[in-house]
């Protein structure tokens, strides 16, 4: 552990850790505000049926574009992922998400952030997780199932027959933006 600490600080000067965390936070800001604008626009144009495509298609393609632009792996994860193919958290993400959820239960308000250098089988990574709070806008598709119009429920069920991502309330932890970048050895 000590050796690792020494190596890690040799690779990354003390203030670089702060810069790296800021860089990750700025990428999340770009992703979050882009998504928010797309979602609002689609909801206004065609309601939730049209907006499904924002969370389903536009979010992953924005994440992929940001990954290409910045060299960070960018994704969204959740302890209750609607799409298990891309939204399931790995062990580190699960542990941090659980910490966010516990902190929130104990009165901390979202968004919570966590930045850490993590030793993984494939190498050393810097990782950043930022909580995504549920907003009013999200409830159409992530709120109470009973309040969803039948056409919307049918559309969601067609794609996600085992959908755990409903029943959220405003302010609750919906998931997190997760960023990872490998350090050069």
Which residues are near ligand HEC by CB under 6 A?
39, 48, 51-52, 55-56, 60, 76, 78, 81-83, 86-87, 132, 134-135, 137-138, 140-142, 165, 174-175
Q: Is 20 or 78 the residue whose CB approaches ligand HEC more closely?
A: 78
Convert 114-144 to b/e letters by CB count within 10 Å (16 or more is b). bbebeeeeeebbbbbbbbbbbeeebbbbbbe
Q: How far is the CB of 138 from ligand HEC (least distance, A)?
A: 3
Contact 125, 91 (CB under 8 A): no
Q: Is 21 or 155 the residue whose CB approaches ligand HEC more closely?
A: 155
Q: Is 20 or 131 the residue whose CB approaches ligand HEC more closely?
A: 131
Q: How far is the CB of 37 from ligand HEC (least distance, A)?
A: 11
Prior bond of 111 cis (ω within 30°)? yes
Q: How far is the CB of 179 from ligand HEC (least distance, A)?
A: 14
Residue 106 per-residue DSSP state:
T
CB within 8 Å of 113: residues ≥ 6 apart: 21, 25, 128, 129, 130, 131
Give CA–CA dist 80/174, Å, rounded. Answer: 8
Q: How far is the CB of 156 from ligand HEC (least distance, A)?
A: 6
Q: Is 104 or 135 the residue whose CB approaches ligand HEC more closely?
A: 135
Q: Is 77 or 126 the residue whose CB approaches ligand HEC more closely?
A: 77
């Amino acid at each position: 552990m000590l050796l690792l600490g020494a190596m890690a600080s040799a690779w990354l000067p003390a203030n670089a850790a702060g810069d790296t965390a800021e860089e990750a936070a700025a990428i999340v800001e770009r992703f979050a505000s882009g998504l928010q604008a797309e979602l609002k626009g689609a909801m206004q144009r065609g309601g939730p049926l049209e907006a499904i495509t924002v969370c389903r298609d536009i979010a992953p393609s924005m994440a992929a574009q940001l990954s290409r632009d910045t060299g960070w792996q960018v994704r969204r994860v959740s302890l209750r992922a609607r799409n298990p193919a891309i939204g399931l958290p790995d062990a580190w993400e699960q542990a941090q998400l659980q910490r966010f959820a516990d902190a929130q239960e104990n009165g901390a308000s979202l968004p919570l952030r966590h930045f850490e250098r993590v030793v993984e089988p494939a190498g050393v990574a810097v990782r950043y997780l930022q909580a995504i709070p549920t907003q009013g806008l999200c409830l159409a598709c992530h709120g109470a199932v009973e309040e969803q119009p039948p056409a919307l429920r049918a559309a969601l069920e067609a794609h996600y027959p085992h959908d755990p991502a409903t029943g959220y309330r405003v302010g609750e932890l919906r998931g997190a933006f997760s960023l990872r970048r490998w350090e050069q050895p």
